[in-house]
Amino acid sequence: MDRYRTKQHRPAQYQRAALSQRRIRLILGFVMCLGLAYTAGFGVYRLWDVLQRTGRGQPLGVFWEAWDQVEQTFYGELPSPSERTYGAIRGALALLEDPYTTFVEPQPSKLDRDRLRGTFGGIGVTLWRDAEGRMVLSPYADAPAERAGVREGDVLLAVDGEEIIAETMVDDVRARLHGEVDTPVTLTLSRPPTPPFDLTVIRGEIQIPSVTWRVLDQAPGIGYLHVEGFTGRTSEEVVTALQALQAQGIAGLLLDLRDNSGGLIDPAVTTASQFLGDGIVLTELRRDAAARTFPVQGGGIATDIPMAVLVNGGTASAAEIVAGALQDYGRAPLVGEPTFGKGAVQLIYDLSDGSSLHVTSAIWLTPNGHRIDGQGLSPDVAVARDDGPQDVQLERALEYLVE
């Protein structure tokens, strides 16, 4: 029963021993704090500054006091230092009540950076889980995987000897396949009736197209331009697509921004500028700074062509910026459904362990001062999505252009 007594009831020798133990724990806690701070990407100088400012018994001390009790008494398995740190960061960020200020662990963060760049070192495959839970591959045309012998429908069993199990996440496998150009990665594949075999693929530069285009079969004079997201390659791809469509003599254009979740702001400004002669594309409001406007860039190559913009509930962020600018200037009607309503700016801070911190730092307004965040854009021509074989939203936009 002695171990459950309060301090004031302990004999002097126990108090001295307890004091010594507390000092040891304090030193160990400080060392652990240094290690965790390094893991999370904070410098030692920053941690020391925090310790100096908070002082013993203040919030940081309470944290370690509480965790000390967890380590001594918790029945289950304790999280690793990195898991503990990541959890603490997420818990603190949750207090901000902002869904877009987030912490992203190293592997998802790397995939996100690759997506925004529009290019990465990899083997060029699409991955998914089939109905039986197997990891299935589909190689890109003329990509390193296809050239090395990967076939459509091959089942991935392991990467560099690390087995793919039921709990393995698709994003984790994608991260393993990404890497420096000209480096090898060994795939263990299943292709019945052939026994499982290893195939080594040399990674190459994989480009992720963000834009597709064509002249519509049902309306030969109308070009169709679909922007899936705004990456570092989008500006160049949009210009290439417009030049190709104009070379085919189009008389109108459908810009499809449906299910475009956004991306980088600069390519969005460049894209909007292809269709606008002058003015601004958006206004950015920050907490402690004057409003900043993003002017239309000169030299747009499609400023006069009749057009309409397709939007839906998946049109968000930078895509809403483009749609809002074209709507405000009367350049093109929005056809479809109300947009998502994400008009907030996230600054992305890469931390030392490969993780990243996304912090909401500003909000966006359309040229007419309409706040996008939490409100979205209302279509000029409302058309609900239909699950039938026809794309009723596209058909209605075509009617607008040819009527």
In tens, the pLDDT along 304-343 reads 999 999 999 999 999 999 999 999 999 999 999 999 999 8
Asked about 350 being catalytic, the answer comes back as: no
Q: Which residues contact 304 (CB under 8 A, 6 or more apart)?
A: none
> How distant is the alpha carbon of residue 268 from its chain centre?
16
Q: What are the tens digits of pLDDT across the range 80-109?
A: 888 888 888 888 888 898 888 888 877 666
Q: What are the tens digits of pLDDT across the range 366-383?
A: 999 999 999 999 999 999
Phi and psi (nearest 5°) for 22? -65, -40
> Packing angle between helix 12-40 and helix 81-94, nearest 10 degrees?
80
Residue 131 burial (CB count, 10 A):
5
Q: What pLDDT sits at residue 5?
A: 32
Evaluate whether 30 touches 56 at the Cβ level (below 8 Å). Answer: no
Evaluate whether 227 touches 211 at the Cβ level (below 8 Å). Answer: yes
Residue 303 in tokens: 């400023």
What one-character DSSP code corresponds to residue 251?
Answer: S
Evaluate whether 122 touches 177 at the Cβ level (below 8 Å). Answer: yes
- What's the length of the chain? 403
Q: What are the tens digits of pLDDT across the range 282-300?
A: 999 988 878 999 999 989 9
Residue 347 burial (CB count, 10 A):
11
Residue 227 burial (CB count, 10 A):
26
Q: What pLDDT sits at residue 40?
A: 38
Q: How far is Cα 283 from Cα 237, in angstroms, rounded to an integer?
A: 25
Asked about 110 being catalytic, the answer comes back as: no
Higher pLDDT, 52 or 181: 181
Q: What are the tens digits of pLDDT across the range 238-269?
A: 999 999 999 999 999 999 999 999 989 999 99
Q: What pLDDT sits at residue 335?
A: 98
Counting DSSP H helices and E strands in the chain, the numbers are 11, 19
Q: Which residue has the tokens 């901000």?
A: 96
Of 273, 317, 355, 356, the catalytic one is: 317
Q: What are the tens digits of pLDDT across the range 2-25?
A: 333 333 333 333 334 444 444 444
Q: How far is Cα 201 from Cα 286, in angstroms, rounded to an integer?
A: 47
Residue 176 burial (CB count, 10 A):
16
Phi and psi (nearest 5°) for 376? 75, -170
Residue 133 burial (CB count, 10 A):
8
Evaluate whether 152 touches 140 at the Cβ level (below 8 Å). Answer: no
Q: Around 29, how many Cα atoms within 13 Å sit in the side-chain half-sphere?
A: 19
What is the pLDDT averaged over residues 108-116? Answer: 68
Evaluate whether 188 touches 157 at the Cβ level (below 8 Å). Answer: yes
Pick from 362, 381, 380: which is nearest to 372 by CA? Answer: 362
Residue 276 in tokens: 């606008």
Of 154, 210, 235, 342, the catalytic one is: 342
Continuous H helices in 162-256: 170-177, 234-247
Tell me which amino acid residue 89 is. I
Phi and psi (nearest 5°) for 163? -65, 145
Average pLDDT over all residues of the chain: 84
Is 60 exceeded by the pLDDT of residue 199?
yes
Strand, helix or coil for residue 68: helix
Question: What is the pTM for the complete model shown?
Answer: 0.70
Q: Which residues contact 384 (CB under 8 A, 6 or more apart)?
A: 337, 392
Q: How far is Cα 240 from Cα 307, in angstroms, rounded to an integer?
A: 18
Asked about 317 being catalytic, the answer comes back as: yes
Is 70 exceeded by the pLDDT of residue 45?
no
Q: How far is Cα 92 from Cα 99, in angstroms, rounded to an integer?
A: 13
* CA separation, residue 380 to residues 179, 283, 338, 343 (Å): 45, 22, 10, 19
What one-character DSSP code corresponds to residue 141?
Answer: T
Residue 41 in tokens: 């990407």
Q: What pLDDT sits at residue 332?
A: 97
Q: What pLDDT sits at residue 91?
A: 87
Q: How far is Cα 49 from Cα 10, in angstroms, rounded to an integer?
A: 36
Residue 160 in tokens: 């560099």
Of 114, 154, 328, 373, the catalytic one is: 328
Q: What does the buried/exposed string (b/e) look like for 53-74 if buried means 16 or more CB atoms within 10 Å of the residue's CB?
A: eeeeeeebeeebeebbeeeeee
